[in-house]
Amino acid sequence: MTSSGGSKTPLGKQRASALADLSAGESEEFARTHRRLVVHDYLPVTFHDGVAGASKCEWSSHIAASLTPEQAGALAWVLIDTMMRARFGPATSLYDTWREHTIAGTKIPSPDKETIESFIEPVFGLPDAPKSEDHLQGHVGEWLWHLLTKDNVAVRIQPDPKGDVTDAGADGFSIYENAAGTLRFRLWESKKNTGTGSLSTSLNQAYEQLAASGQRYVAKIVGTFMPGFYDDEILTFIAEVPAAWTQGDELVGAGVTLATHQPLPSKPFNKMSKKLPLLNKPGQLRGLVTSISCYDELSSTVRRYAWTAL
Q: How many Å apart are CA 153 and CA 158, to the nearest integer?
A: 12
pLDDT one digit per residue (tens) for the chain, 310 residues: 323 344 454 555 566 679 999 999 999 999 999 999 999 999 999 999 988 789 999 999 999 989 999 999 999 999 999 999 999 999 999 999 999 999 999 999 999 999 999 999 999 999 999 999 999 999 999 999 999 999 999 999 999 998 876 677 889 999 999 999 999 999 999 999 998 999 999 999 999 999 999 999 999 999 999 999 999 999 999 999 999 999 999 999 999 999 999 999 888 999 999 999 999 999 999 999 999 999 999 999 999 999 999 9
Q: Round the average pLDDT of the chain to a whole number and report it.
A: 93
Please give the pLDDT value at position 11. Answer: 52
Helix residue ranges, H only, the chain: 11-20, 24-33, 69-88, 92-104, 112-124, 133-149, 199-222, 232-247, 272-275, 295-307
Q: How many Å apart are CA 186 and CA 283, to the nearest integer?
A: 10
Q: What is the pLDDT of residues 126-153, one digit of tens each?
A: 999 999 999 999 999 999 999 999 999 9
Please give the pLDDT value at position 9. Answer: 47
Q: What is the pLDDT of residues 151-187, one digit of tens each?
A: 999 999 999 998 876 677 889 999 999 999 999 999 9
On whether the CB atoms of residues 221 and 280 are closer than 8 A, the answer is no
Q: How many Å apart are CA 279 and CA 256, to the nearest integer?
A: 13
SS3 assignment, position 23: coil
